[in-house]
């Protein structure tokens, strides 16, 4: 256990009803006692866990704020250590003053994610549960919050542990059979062993396949609305964001800078960028906008390619269709409230997902929502199921799959079961890395580095 006592402001930095300064560590309670004076005269060190006291924080007999101090006793706290949470008024200045007093009383400033890191090191949660804490904090939709919460309460850990246990029992069976031939242990058949390996591999592959859907739910999809000028990109942006974010006129070239907005469509968060319409232009400002659009198109994860159904396809539309071939795209056939003149067959030959819409009247919005759920893989997404939520977990899962493929090959080449065992053990090791049961300190540090201070 870390001997240092850490402190940080755990609430958002800004004005609010309450601000919380959290102190954690062996000396948390005695440190708080140095700056806290209760109205009742009781000291925090005389309180049991889960008790609160009302009083004031003062330093050099000068009062900083009136507060409520809550005491948690190890191991029954977030970090598993003694913790005091000082609830003061939620102003920027006051919270900083209380924190400063705690530091002067002997606490050291917590690093980003240090409270959660201690919770992990003290066995309060595994690494995937700890990582989910940050996802809960940054969740922007109900589905994201539900997904992060089930990760936080161990959905992935449980799933991976079931998979791992199957491998452990296979290895155990192989070892027992090889080492104790005189015992009555059932013979291991290559076919049954192979079946087992394939089955486990399929379970891990499913987790990897669901990764991008999980990312779409938790963190959103970088999405660009593209199309030539005047097809209705900004009108679509406004329809999806629910208010007039982008300027809409019938003058081609109105949107020049990239306008961004995060919107929730169904269960999916889209980080939308409305862009300047792509066309050849002499106007220097518009030209910069068009270049920025091209750049965005090449780096985004989803393109909503907008076409004007009341006009015939032109060269710019065809160029757009060609330039987005390698990125997941939905063709939006806009202005369906007007007479149709567009050649849908050509678009259909280039893009699989097509949605007809009137961005002006809102007709077709539901169909667009369905198409986005389909293309992002979130249609049948179960927020309560365990998912892989970070690149670190994903690469550990891929390592496990590759070790199982080695096991498969070893078996098919007719090598001994010992050689197969080595491969399966490698897969088990990768799964332990996935849940964080077997990771280097550097990896742990890296995980918590992305956290905010005070969490
Ligand atoms: N009739 C009709 N007009 C639309 C629709 N969507 C956009 N417009 C009009 O088309 C013009 C260009 O729209 P805008 O969103 O600025 O296009 P952008 O240049 O692609 O951003 C404006 O006059 C809009 O009112 C639609 O669904 N139906
Ligand atoms: Mg526009």
* Residue 427, domain member (yes or no): yes
Residue nearest to atom 23 of ligand 1 (CA): 250
Model confidence at 404, pLDDT cuts 50, 70, 90, reads very high
176 with 199, same domain: the answer is: yes
Task: Write the pLDDT tens digit of every residue in 261-308.
Answer: 889 888 889 999 988 877 777 788 878 878 888 888 888 999 999 999
Which ligand gives the minimal distance to the CA of 310? 1
287 with 256, same domain: the answer is: yes
221 Cβ partners below 8 Å, 6+ apart? 215, 268, 269, 270, 271, 301, 302, 376
* Residue 452, domain member (yes or no): no
The reported pLDDT for the residue numbered 381 is 86
Task: Write the pLDDT tens digit of every residue in 43-69.
Answer: 999 999 999 999 999 998 899 999 999
**Which residue do the tokens 């202005």 mark?**
335
The reported pLDDT for the residue numbered 13 is 85
249 Cα–ligand 1 center, Å: 7
Atom of ligand 1 nearest to the CA of 229: 19
308 Cα–ligand 2 center, Å: 13
C-alpha closest to that of 279 among 251, 299, 300: 251
| Residue 394 scores a pLDDT above 70 | yes
| Residue 364 scores a pLDDT above 80 | yes
Mean pLDDT of 145-156: 90
| Residue 181 scores a pLDDT above 70 | no
**Half-sphere exposure at residue 185, Cβ-oriented, CA atoms within 13 angstroms:** 15
| Residue 378 scores a pLDDT above 50 | yes
308 with 233, same domain: the answer is: yes
* Residue 110, domain member (yes or no): yes
What CATH number is given to the structural domain containing 62?
Answer: 3.30.1360.120
Task: Write the pLDDT tens digit of every residue in 295-349.
Answer: 888 889 999 999 999 999 999 999 999 989 889 999 999 999 999 999 999 999 9
Let me know: does 87 contact 20? Beta carbons within 8 Å: yes
Model confidence at 70, pLDDT cuts 50, 70, 90, reads very high
* Residue 442, domain member (yes or no): no
- Helical H segments across 154-261, by residue range: 155-179, 190-209, 211-219, 233-241
C-alpha closest to that of 380 among 84, 143, 46: 143
* Residue 40, domain member (yes or no): yes
> Phi and psi (nearest 5°) for 248?
-115, 125
Task: Write the pLDDT tens digit of every residue in 414-452.
Answer: 888 888 999 999 999 999 999 888 777 877 777 787 777
Does residue 335's CB lie within 6 angstroms of at least one atom of ligand 1? yes
Number of domains in the chain: 3
46 with 182, same domain: the answer is: no
- Which domain, by its residues, includes 82? 6-124
What CATH number is given to the structural domain containing 170?
Answer: 1.20.120.430
**Half-sphere exposure at residue 237, Cβ-oriented, CA atoms within 13 angstroms:** 28
224 vs 148: CA distance, rounded Å:
26
Task: Write the pLDDT tens digit of every residue in 111-134.
Answer: 888 999 999 999 998 888 888 888
| Residue 1 scores a pLDDT above 60 | no
Does residue 26's CB lie within 6 angstroms of at least one atom of ligand 1? no
41 with 97, same domain: the answer is: yes
* Residue 1, domain member (yes or no): no
* Residue 242, domain member (yes or no): yes
350 Cα–ligand 2 center, Å: 24
| Residue 260 scores a pLDDT above 90 | no
* Residue 453, domain member (yes or no): no
**Helix, strand or coil for residue 328?**
coil
370 with 277, same domain: the answer is: yes
**Helix, strand or coil for residue 83?**
strand
């Amino acid at each position: 256990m870390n001997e240092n006592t850490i402190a940080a402001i755990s609430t958002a930095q800004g004005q609010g009803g309450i601000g919380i300064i959290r102190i954690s560590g062996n000396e948390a309670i005695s440190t708080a006692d140095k700056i806290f004076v209760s109205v009742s005269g009781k000291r925090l060190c005389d309180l049991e866990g889960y008790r609160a006291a009302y009083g004031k924080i003062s330093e050099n007999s000068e009062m900083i704020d009136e507060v409520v101090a809550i005491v948690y006793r190890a191991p029954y706290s977030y970090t598993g250590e003694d913790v005091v949470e000082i609830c003061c008024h939620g102003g920027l200045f006051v919270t900083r003053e209380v924190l400063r007093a705690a530091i002067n009383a002997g606490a050291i400033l917590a690093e980003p994610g240090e409270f959660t890191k201690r919770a992990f090191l003290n066995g309060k949660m595994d690494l995937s549960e700890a990582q989910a804490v940050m996802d809960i904090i940054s969740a922007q939709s109900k589905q994201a919050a539900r997904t992060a919460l089930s990760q936080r309460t161990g959905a992935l850990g449980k799933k991976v542990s079931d998979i791992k246990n199957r491998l452990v029992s296979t290895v155990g069976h192989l070892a027992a059979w090889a080492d104790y031939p005189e015992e009555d242990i059932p013979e291991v058949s290559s076919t049954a062993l192979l079946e087992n390996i394939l089955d486990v591999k399929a379970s891990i592959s499913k987790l990897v396949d669901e990764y991008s859907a999980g990312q779409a739910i938790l963190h959103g999809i970088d999405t660009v609305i593209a199309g030539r000028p005047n097809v209705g990109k900004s009108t679509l942006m406004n329809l999806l964001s629910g208010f007039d974010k982008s300027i809409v006129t019938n003058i081609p070239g109105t949107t020049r800078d990239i306008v961004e907005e995060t919107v929730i469509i169904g269960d999916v968060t889209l980080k939308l960028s409305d862009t300047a319409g792509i066309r050849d232009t002499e106007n220097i400002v518009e030209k910069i906008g068009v270049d920025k659009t091209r750049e965005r198109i090449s780096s985004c994860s989803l393109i909503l390619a907008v076409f004007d159904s009341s006009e015939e396809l032109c060269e710019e539309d065809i160029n757009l269709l060609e330039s987005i071939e390698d990125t997941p795209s939905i063709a939006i056939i806009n202005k369906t409230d007007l007479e149709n003149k567009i050649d849908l067959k050509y678009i259909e030959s280039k893009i699989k997902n097509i949605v007809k819409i009137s961005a002006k009247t809102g007709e077709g919005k539901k169909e667009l929502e369905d198409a986005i759920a389909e293309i992002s893989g979130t249609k049948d997404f179960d927020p309560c199921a365990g998912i892989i939520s970070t690149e670190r977990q994903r690469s550990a899962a891929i390592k496990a799959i590759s070790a199982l493929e080695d096991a498969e090959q070893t078996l098919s080449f007719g090598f001994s079961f010992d050689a197969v065992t080595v491969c399966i053990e490698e897969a088990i090791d990768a799964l332990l890395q996935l849940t964080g049961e077997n990771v280097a300190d550097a990896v742990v540090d890296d995980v918590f580095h992305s956290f905010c201070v005070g969490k």
